[in-house]
């Protein structure tokens, strides 16, 4: 019997009898079942819904199940959705192609439903845990925006940094995990400011040495706040080290050169540029060209990695076009 809130399984099968039997059996196992008679029809279904698992035949007219799997795994919205491909017992070529396309499991026809129930259940438990991690990630990201909202001068700072950092990372050719860390880092880089009182965070003037020391603790606090969250593991070094400088004069550890994680080096440059372009209680927002000039001078003085600054400035026509 289908339960409300039960996992949704999309069955993609071009043989009507097989499709109906699969749908009936999965329904009896408690799943909510959607069906499609082809990979093309499945793509139409997926355009309006996100199932918890896709069960697809491999050989169909038009797109194959392997091609469907490849499309799903290339879609950020669906890439974590488990895909199980139904193959013949001896269809080794399809299994190899399915592995290359990112399939999560294979099942031989004719289907043994007790085994199917066990293996689908295992995949769906993993999917549930991934969904929980994504929700936790969303809560942390929202917290980053909440911290930004404490300071009326920094509205939009997190979203701009995420956009700038990802564009810069792509231009530098960083790998996908680093790109994801840069996107999240745009929202979470100042997470540690949650520990800084408003009176200090919003002080209408320059900080004295003791106040500056208190502010400089925030990268360490932020990194500690995400300890144990595996989905944010790659973001931790970025949070902790985005105030380090290429010449070793930054904080909290005074790292120098390539000892600074690449993501943190990227975030440092975009963070400095956006800070120059943003009004603060003690300074106005600087014009674009003036901010570029300062960033170049600081890079020549050794504060920022020249390769990263140069690449970022090449992107500015699109990221922050002249007004």
Q: Which of 17, 102, 35, 92 is nearest to 68 (CA)?
A: 102
Residue 245: C-alpha distances to residues 78, 84, 234 (Å):
38, 48, 20
Residue 153, pLDDT score: 53
Q: How confident is the model over 55-66, as pLDDT tens digits?
A: 998 888 788 888
Cβ-contact 300, 315 below 8 angstroms: no
Among 73-77, 159-163, 284-288, 289-293, name the most confident range.
289-293
User: Do the two domains 8-130 and 150-319 of this chain adopt the same fold?
Assistant: no
Residue 1 binned pLDDT confidence (cut-offs 50, 70, 90): very low
Residue 106, pLDDT score: 81
Residue 296 binned pLDDT confidence (cut-offs 50, 70, 90): very high
Looking at every residue in the chain, the average pLDDT score rounds to 86
Residue 149, pLDDT score: 64
Helical pair 288-300 and 262-276, crossing angle rounded to 10 deg = 140
Residue 2, pLDDT score: 40
Average pLDDT of the segment spanning 146-154: 62
Separation CA 303–CA 290 (nearest Å): 17
Among 29-43, 112-126, 214-228, 241-255, name the most confident range.
241-255
Non-local (6+) Cβ contacts of 297 within 8 A are none
pLDDT at 99 over 90: no
Q: How confident is the model over 199-211, as pLDDT tens digits?
A: 787 777 788 888 8
Residue 139, pLDDT score: 66
CATH fold of 8-130: Rossmann fold (3.40.50)
Strand ranges inside the chain, DSSP E: 8-12, 32-36, 53-57, 83-88, 105-109
Average pLDDT of the segment spanning 157-181: 94
Judge if the upstream peptide bond of residue 143 is cis by omega within 30 degrees of 0. Answer: no
Non-local (6+) Cβ contacts of 208 within 8 A are none
Average pLDDT of the segment spanning 251-260: 97
In percent, the amount of the chain with pLDDT more than 70 equals 89
Q: Where are the domains of the chain?
A: 8-130, 150-319
**What class, spelled out in words, does domain 150-319 have in CATH?**
mainly alpha
Among 3-17, 59-73, 235-249, 271-285, name the most confident range.
235-249
Residue 304: C-alpha distances to residues 207, 264, 266 (Å):
23, 11, 9
């Amino acid at each position: 019997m289908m339960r409300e809130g039960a996992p949704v399984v999309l069955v993609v099968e071009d043989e009507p009898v097989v499709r109906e039997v699969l749908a009936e059996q999965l329904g009896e196992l408690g799943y909510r079942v959607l069906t499609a008679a082809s990979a093309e029809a499945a793509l139409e279904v997926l355009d309006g819904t996100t199932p918890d698992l896709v069960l697809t035949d491999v050989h169909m007219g038009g797109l194959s199940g392997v091609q469907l799997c490849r499309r799903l795994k290339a879609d950020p919205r669906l890439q974590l959705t488990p895909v199980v491909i139904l193959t013949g017992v001896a269809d080794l070529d399809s299994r190899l192609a399915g592995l290359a396309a990112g399939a999560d499991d294979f099942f031989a026809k004719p289907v043994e439903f007790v085994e199917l129930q066990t293996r689908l259940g295992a995949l769906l438990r993993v999917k549930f845990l991934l969904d929980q991690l994504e929700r936790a990630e969303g809560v942390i990201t929202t917290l980053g925006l909440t911290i930004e909202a404490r300071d009326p001068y920094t509205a939009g700072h997190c979203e701009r940094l995420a956009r700038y950092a990802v564009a810069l990372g792509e231009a530098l050719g960083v790998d996908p995990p680093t790109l994801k860390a840069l996107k999240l880092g745009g929202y979470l880089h100042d997470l540690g400011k949650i520990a800084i009182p408003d009176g200090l965070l919003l002080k209408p003037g320059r900080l004295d040495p003791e106040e500056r020391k208190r502010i400089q603790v925030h990268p360490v606090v932020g990194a500690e706040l995400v300890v144990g969250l595996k989905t944010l593991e790659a973001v931790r070094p970025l949070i902790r080290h985005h105030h380090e400088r290429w010449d070793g004069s930054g904080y909290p550890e005074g790292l120098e050169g390539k000892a600074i994680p690449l993501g943190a080096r990227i975030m440092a440059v975009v963070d400095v540029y956006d800070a120059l372009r943003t009004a603060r209680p003690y300074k106005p927002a600087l014009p674009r060209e003036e901010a570029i000039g300062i960033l170049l001078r600081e890079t020549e003085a050794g504060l920022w990695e020249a390769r990263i600054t140069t690449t970022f400035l090449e992107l500015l026509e699109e990221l922050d076009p002249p007004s």
